A and B are shown apart, each in its own frame.
Chain A
Amino acid sequence: MAKLITTLHIDGADDFYAELIALHAERTREESEAINARLILLLCNHVGDRETLREAFTEARRDGAASLA
C-alpha cells in the first residue's frame, strides 16, 4: 500500500460511526443501497486519485476476518 491511508484518519471515531449508521436509520435495504452508492461516488470523486482508489478497491474486495481465520 502506497497511497491509501490505512491508519485512523478521522477525528471522533465513535461519533463518525454513529453518523454513518444514522444515515441508514429506518431505511429499506434498497434505500440504503442507493444511499451507499451515492456516498461511494461522492467520496471516490473527492479522493480523485486513481491509484489510491484502486488500492481501496483491492482492500475492500478482501474479506479480512476470513483471511485471518
Chain B
Amino acid sequence: MPPIFETPLYPYQRSPDQDGATPARHAVVVVGAGPVGLAAAIDLALHDIPVVVLDENDKVSFGSRAICFAKRPLEIFDRLGCGEPLVEKGVQWRLGKVFFRDSLIYGFDLLPEAGHKRPAFINLQQYYLESHLVKRVRQLQAQGKRIEIRGMNRVAGLKVEADHAALEVTTPEGGYGLEADWLIACDGAGSTVRSLMGLDFVGRAFEDNFLIADVTMDAEFPTERWFWFDPPFNKGQSALLHKQPDGVWRIDLQLGWNIDREHEKEPERVKARLKAMLGEGVEFKLEWVSIYTFQCRRMEKFRHGRVLFAGDSAHQVSPFGARGANSGIQDTDNLIWKLKLVRDGLAPDSLLDTYDDERVFAADENIRHSTRSTEFITPKSQASRAFRDAALDLAARFPFARPLVNSGRLSTPSVYDHSPLNGVDGPTLPPVARPGAPAPDAPLAKGWLLDRLGGRFQLLAIGMDAPPLDIEVVRLDASEALARRYLGDARAALYLLRPDQHVAARWTAYDEGKVRAALARAMGKG
C-alpha cells in the first residue's frame, strides 16, 4: 500500500460550477485543505453554513510536518466531532530530557494536571490529522451537510468587492469563476490569496537552516522529547528527537546559515548525520527529509472585509513550541461562530473585527514565545550565547536555572484578557476561568464538562439555579473538581460561555439584566 500521503483523498471531479453561464455564488469558500482549512470547513458545516473548500492538490500533506498537537486544539477537535481517533492514534508523552554538549543535564515531567479529558500533547503526523478531518467531512456529507472539497482547484485570480469575493480558479480541465459571500484564506505561509490582494506579511527572518527527517527504526529510545544543545554529533548547533505513531521518529538538526542545501538533503549525507546521532548499529529507514528556514511574522490585520485569513497565511512562527498548526486551529475556532452570527444577521458586522482583536493578540503571544525560544536555541550574539551556555551549565547543578532553558515553550491557549467581548468578572472567582479564558475542562459524574459545552452561547450554572433565558442553561452541582476551577471560595457561580467555549462573563449571583447585557456584549453589540 502506498503511504497515506501518496493516495489522493479528494481527487479532482468536475463541478457543475465549471459549466455555469455565470459564476456560482457560495456562502463561504475556504482556500486550502490543510488542518486549518478543514477545521474551518467542518465548523461551518456544523453551523449549517454551506462551504466549498478549494485545494491546489488532492492529497494530504507530504511528510509529517506538524507533529505536536496540544490539549486545546484536541478539545476543539472534540467539538468538531473528530478528537477521539486523533488521540487514539497519537503518541502521548510527558517526559523530556535536555542534553548539553556530551551530557544529560536534566530531565523533566510535564506533570499534566489531572481532571482533563485530553492530554497536554499528542504527537501525530499531520497527514493523519488531515486524513481524519477528511473522514469527518465525508461523515458530514453523508448526513446531508453542504460541505465540499474540490481537489486540484487552484486560485489564480481574486477580486474583492464590498459584499463578496470573485475568484478565478484553474483546474486540470481549465478555469472557471466562482463567487463567495465570505472567503477564508487557509492557504499557508505562501498564501496565494494574500499575494493576490497585495497584502503585507512582515516580520523577522532567522538566518538558519534546519534539517528535518522522519525515520523509522526499531530502537530502544523511550517515548520522550530529547533536545540537545551543542551535541558532539552536531557541533555548535541543536538537535531534537521526538516520537510519532508507527515507530516513526522526528529528528530535527540545526545546520546553520551558510550551507549547501542540496548537498545537505542528499540521502547519504543525511544518513551519515543520523548515524552519528543515533549511534552505529542502529538500523533506520528515512521516510521524509526536508530543509527549512523560518520567519516570525504576521499580517497587520487578519480581516480584510469579506476575506479572512487564518493559520499560517496570517501568521508564521518558528517550529519551537508547536505553535503553528495549534494556533491556526484556534483561529478558526474563534472565527466561525462569529461568521455564523453576522451571516444570520444576529450580530453586527463589527463582531468579525473582534476576530482580528483576539487572534492578532494570540499571534503576537505566539510570536513572542517562539522568538524567545529561537534566540535561546540559536543565539544571535556572542553575549547571548554566553548566557545561554551559562544557563545550561548551571541547570545541570541548580534547579533554578532550568526554567531559563528554552527549547520551545509548548503551545497553550491565549486568554483574551483585553477582548472587547468580555463582560463582568466576578472578582473572587478563580483566575483560570476568567473572562477571555477557554473554559477549563473538569470531570463530571458522567463524562466531561467540555463535552457539554460549545457550538452556541450557554449559561453554566454551578451550585445554583438560573431561569431559562433564550439561551441554554447547563446546571451542575458544585463538585470538588468544578469548585476548584470555577468557584474558588464561592458557593455558586454563573458563567456565560461563548460558542468557542471561552468564558464571556461570570457572576456569583443571577441577575437577568446583567446576563442580557453580557450576552449582547459578547455578540459584539455592547
- Can you list, as one digit per residue, whether each of B382-394 has a CB less than 8 Å from chain A (1) or not (0)? 1100110111011
Q: Report if B404 contacts A (CB, 8 A).
A: yes
Q: Report if A33 contacts B (CB, 8 A).
A: yes
Q: How many positions in chain A have a CB within 8 Å of any CB in the partner chain?
A: 9
Q: Report if A2 contacts B (CB, 8 A).
A: no
* Minimum Cβ distance to chain A for residue B143 (Å): 55
Q: Enumerate chain A residues within 8 angstroms of B391, measured Cβ to Cβ.
A: 41
- Can you list, as one digit per residue, whether each of A24-39 has a CB less than 8 Å from chain B (1) or not (0)? 0000000001101110
Q: Enumerate chain B residues within 8 angstroms of A34, measured Cβ to Cβ.
A: 386, 389-390, 393
Q: Report if B432 contacts A (CB, 8 A).
A: no
Instruction: Tell me if A41 and B389 are in contact (CB < 8 A).
Output: no
Kindly report which residue of chain B lies nearest to residue A33, judged by CB atoms: B386
Instruction: Tell me if B400 and A37 are in contact (CB < 8 A).
Output: no
Q: Enumerate chain B residues within 8 angstroms of A4, measured Cβ to Cβ.
A: none
Secondary structure at chain A's binding surface: helix, strand, loop or mixed? helix
Q: Enumerate chain B residues within 8 angstroms of A41, measured Cβ to Cβ.
A: 387, 390-391, 394, 401, 404
Q: Enumerate chain B residues within 8 angstroms of A42, measured Cβ to Cβ.
A: 394
- Can you list, as one digit per residue, whether each of B208-241 has a CB less than 8 Å from chain A (1) or not (0)? 0000000000000000000000000000000000
Interface residues of A in 6-54 (CB under 8 A from B): 33-34, 36-38, 40-42, 45
Q: How large is the interface on B (under 10, 10 to 19, 20 to 34, 35 or more residues)?
A: 10 to 19
Q: Give Cα A42 to B404, complex, Å.
A: 12
Q: Enumerate chain A residues within 8 angstroms of B404, measured Cβ to Cβ.
A: 41
Name the contact of B400 in the complex, choosing from A33, A38, A40, A45 (C-beta under 8 A). A45
Instruction: Tell me if B382 and A38 are in contact (CB < 8 A).
Output: no
Q: Give Cα A45 to B403, complex, Å.
A: 12
Kindly report which residue of chain B lies nearest to residue A42, judged by CB atoms: B394
Q: Enumerate chain B residues within 8 angstroms of A33, measured Cβ to Cβ.
A: 382-383, 386
Q: Give Cα A30 to B391, complex, Å.
A: 16
Q: Give Cα A41 to B398, complex, Å.
A: 11
Q: Give Cα A38 to B382, complex, Å.
A: 14
Instruction: Tell me if A37 and B386 are in contact (CB < 8 A).
Output: yes
Q: Give Cα A36 to B383, complex, Å.
A: 10
Kindly report which residue of chain A lies nearest to residue B401, judged by CB atoms: A41
Q: Give Cα A63 to B394, complex, Å.
A: 29
Q: Enumerate chain B residues within 8 angstroms of A38, measured Cβ to Cβ.
A: 390, 393-394
- Can you list, as one digit per residue, whether each of B354-396 has a CB less than 8 Å from chain A (1) or not (0)? 0000000000000000000000000000110011011101100
Q: Enumerate chain A residues within 8 angstroms of B389, measured Cβ to Cβ.
A: 34, 37
* Minimum Cβ distance to chain B for residue A40 (Å): 8
Kindly report which residue of chain A lies nearest to residue B400, judged by CB atoms: A45
Q: Give Cα A51 to B401, complex, Å.
A: 19
Q: Enumerate chain B residues within 8 angstroms of A36, measured Cβ to Cβ.
A: 386
Kindly report which residue of chain B lies nearest to residue A35, judged by CB atoms: B390
Q: Give Cα A33 to B400, complex, Å.
A: 21
Q: Give Cα A37 to B382, complex, Å.
A: 11
The 3 closest A-B pairs by CB, nearest first: A37-B390, A37-B386, A38-B390
Residues of A within 8 A of B (CB): 33-34, 36-38, 40-42, 45
Further 13 A-B residue pairs, CB within 8 A, beyond A37-B383, A38-B390, A38-B394 = A33-B382, A34-B386, A34-B389, A34-B390, A34-B393, A37-B389, A38-B393, A40-B387, A40-B390, A41-B387, A41-B391, A45-B400, A45-B401
- Write 15 A-B pairs (CB below 8 A) sorted by A numbering: A33-B383, A33-B386, A34-B386, A34-B389, A34-B393, A37-B389, A37-B390, A38-B394, A40-B390, A41-B387, A41-B390, A41-B394, A41-B401, A41-B404, A42-B394
